[in-house]
Structures are given as C-alpha cells and as structure tokens.
Amino acid sequence: MIQLLMSELCTMRKGQTINEVDIYNLKCSEIEMSIPVISSSTLNSGIMGYIDRKHMGLYKKVGKSGDLSWVTNGYAGKVTYRESDFLPTEKCGVAAIKSKYKEKVNPKWLEIYLNSITKKYVVAKEGNGKLEIVQMKNIPVVIPDLDEQEEIVNENNTNQKIINSLKDKLLNIREQLAVNISYTSKKFKISELFQITSGVRITQEQVYQNPGTFPVVTSKTTKEGIAWYASEKWLNDFRKNGEKVVVEKECVTWSKDGNAGKLFYRDYPFYQNDHSGVLIPKNDNINLQWFKIHFQSEIYKHVVAKDSQGMLYEEQMANIEIEMPIKDNEDIDLNLQNEIYAEYKRLSDIKEKLESIISRYSI
C-alpha cells in the first residue's frame, strides 16, 4: 500500500468554454458520431450535450477514455470515470493517471475512492462550492494493491446494480403517487366545511423575552411553519375577541402571505399569529391529512399577488370550492378519504426509504 498526492498520481487540467449555442450549431444527428460535452451538471452523468466528432479540432482540451472528470463548480467534487472520449467545459476538471502508475491504479477504483473523500476539500466561495485544481492536487490517495482495488470495484458494481433496481422501483412508486383516483364528488366551499380563523400579532422580540417550548406558527414555510418557541403561560394571556388563540384541536393551517397557501397538518397544540390561517373542521367527516395532500395544488391556484408578495387571506380561503368524495346519499365519504390516504402513506413511506438507501449508497 502506498500513499501519493493527486498531483503525484495524476496530471490535471480544466476544460474550455462550450455553451449551448455551440452544441446546437455543431450537433450531429447520429449519436455514434458524436462526442459528449461534460459540464457541472449532476444529471445524466454530467453530459450537457453532444458535438459532432468532426468538429473536435475546434477544441484543444479533450478528455480521453479512462480519464476521470470532476465537477469544479456547484456540486463540486463529484468524480466520474469516463469510458469514452469527451469534451470538458470550464466547470469540469480532468484527471489522467500518469503512465508510471497505470499498472498500479485502477481508474474505476480511484473514482470510488475520490468520491468518498473530495467533499472534505470543497471550499465555499460566494455561496458556491468549488474544487479547483489547487485543492484537488493536495488530496492524499492511499492506494491498496490491485487485487484489493478490484474487489472494491466489483463490490461497487454489485451495489450499483442494486441501486439501479431500487431507482426503477422508486420511479414506479412516484408514478403511482401521481395517479389521481376518480370518485363521485360534490362541490363545497371551504367555509361550509371549516371554521376559519387566525391569530394575534406577536413579535420576535416578545418571544425572545418570553422563551419556552410552545410552538408559534407564522407564515414561515420551513420547519413546518414553526417560527419560534415561547412560554405557554405567556401565550395563553393573548386574546382575540376575548378568546384564547392557542389552538388545541386537530386542524390544517395555511400561510396567509409570503409563500401563501402552503398547507400544514397539525395534531398538537400551538399558537398561531395573524400571518397564519387555521381551518378547524366543523364535523368529523374529513381526513385532514388527505385534505392537505389532495387540495394543496388547488389552494395555490387562489393565491393572489400584491406588491410582489403572494397573499391568501380568510375571505379568499372561505370562498374556495373543492370537490369532496361523497356516498350515494351525498354525505361526505370519510372511509374513502381514509383508504386513499392510507395507500398514499404506504407508498410515501416506501418512497422515503428507497430515497434514503439510494442516497446512502450512491457514489
């Protein structure tokens, strides 16, 4: 086992400027007669497009079959073994194993090794990840013997086959989740189904002066819309028309401004301020988790823009009409909602597990 710096093991260079106009003007109708252009994209193995091989003379920098490319900007550090010649762009680095090490280092093993370590060397500049040659050349490479490299490559190939199979299953799950189930329905206004309310204004400074563990919901759409945590006793002192504004019933909330219309299901007590609207069902015939998922896109359609900001206030929400599933007697069908949501939850759980596995084991 030996250890070398990347600068000792490989020659390295960056690509040249190639834009979409070049690709369009120099394209070839036959893929076999084309050479891929590699950029910083993480999709399709970084292939930006293809150029007719007869135009290769226009470019001085050409990557060769067996070279490694890496992303220098954006999703920096992603390394890919190239099985054919390619044209690297200016956001792509190229590493070629030096002749004296070609019999000692399997480039496919080096791809696996680098992908396990490059993230440590990526630097952030103006919010953009970068791994330029100056960083890449100082990455240490611990090189096992060829037999061990071969074992690692074979094991990785097996894992990739499994991952590809999981990706196919994931695609199938996503297609199933996108299928709309048809049912007999009836239109209802939101105001017919829900009590609609909102909270009382409190400020961040007030919360900081009265910290606690009780969730405060605002128009924020990250972290489930919970902006702060405050003292429950202090929050209970706030009133709207003499009534507490701490919500203790199962409900759906929405953001009234900013990313207006975003729905959240809540089954725990919380305080809502005046930037958050609340839908409390008038009857027990609505599955609120199904409602949130099923009607999110419909609610978004009713958001209005004012001064470059989305808005959806109580009056607008009250008049939105939605199609609810009904039984033969035209009562709202809760059982069907439950069945649809149970299947959606089952598929979503599988999807989440597949995404986690694929993310963990992909190089």
Q: Do residues 211 and 283 both lie within one domain?
A: yes
In a shared domain, residues 247 and 362:
no
CA proximity to 53, closest of 83, 27, 89, 79: 27
Q: Could you give the CA distance from residue 252 to residue 267 in angstroms, rounded to a whole number?
A: 9
Pairing of strands 87-88, 34-38: parallel
| Alpha carbon distance 39, 20 (integer Å) | 11
Rg (CA), the chain: 28
Assess whether 194 and 324 both reside in one domain.
yes
Same domain, 199 and 326: yes
Please give the Cα distance from 59 to 300 (Å, whole number). 48
56 plus 66 within the same structural domain: yes
**Planar angle of CA 65, 70, 74, nearest 5 degrees:** 145
Low-confidence residues of the chain, pLDDT below 70?
A: 125-127, 306-308, 361-363
Specify the DSSP element, H or E, that contains 140. strand 140-143
Contact 256, 198 (CB under 8 A): yes
In a domain, 12, yes or no: yes
**Residue 151 forms part of a structural domain:** no
Report if residue 93 sits inside a domain. Answer: yes
Residue written as tokens 């020659």?
A: 11
Q: Which of 90, 122, 144 lies at the terminal end of a domain, its last residue? A: 144
State the pLDDT at residue 265. Answer: 96
pLDDT digits (tens, 9 = 90+) for 123-163: 876 657 899 999 999 999 999 999 999 999 999 888 888 88
CATH of the domain at 82: 3.90.220.20
Handedness of CA 243, 248, 251, 255 (dihedral sign): positive
What is the distance between the alpha carbons of residues 49 and 31, in angstroms, rounded to a whole number? 10
Q: Which amino acid is at 213?
A: T
Q: Quick one: 10 and 34 in the same domain?
A: yes
Question: Are 119 and 111 within 8 A, CB to CB?
Answer: no
Q: Where does residue 199 rank: exposed (0-12), middle (13-18), buried (19+ CB within 10 A)?
A: buried
| Count of the separate structural domains present in the chain | 3
The answer to whether residue 178 is domain-embedded is yes
Looking at the structure, do residues 19 and 48 belong to the same domain, yes or no?
yes
Question: Is 94 in the same domain as 207?
Answer: no
Which residues span the domain enclosing 47?
2-144
114 and 62 assigned to the same domain = yes
Question: Torsions phi, psi of 94, nearest 5?
Answer: -125, 130
Residue 149 lies in a domain: no
Task: Copy the structure tokens of residue 158.
Answer: 């097996």
Of 85, 118, 144, which residue constitutes the final position of a domain? 144
CB 97 within 8 A of CB 12: no
Is 220 found in the same domain as 169? no
Say whether both 361 and 226 belong to one domain: no
Q: Are residues 72 and 132 in the same domain?
A: yes
Q: Residue 150 falls within a domain, yes or no?
A: no
Residue 95 lies in a domain: yes
Strands (E) located in 156-312: 185-189, 194-198, 211-217, 226-230, 239-240, 243-244, 246-247, 251-255, 257-258, 263-266, 270-272, 276-281, 304-306, 309-311
| pLDDT at res. 127 | 58
Residue 361 lies inside a defined structural domain of this protein: yes
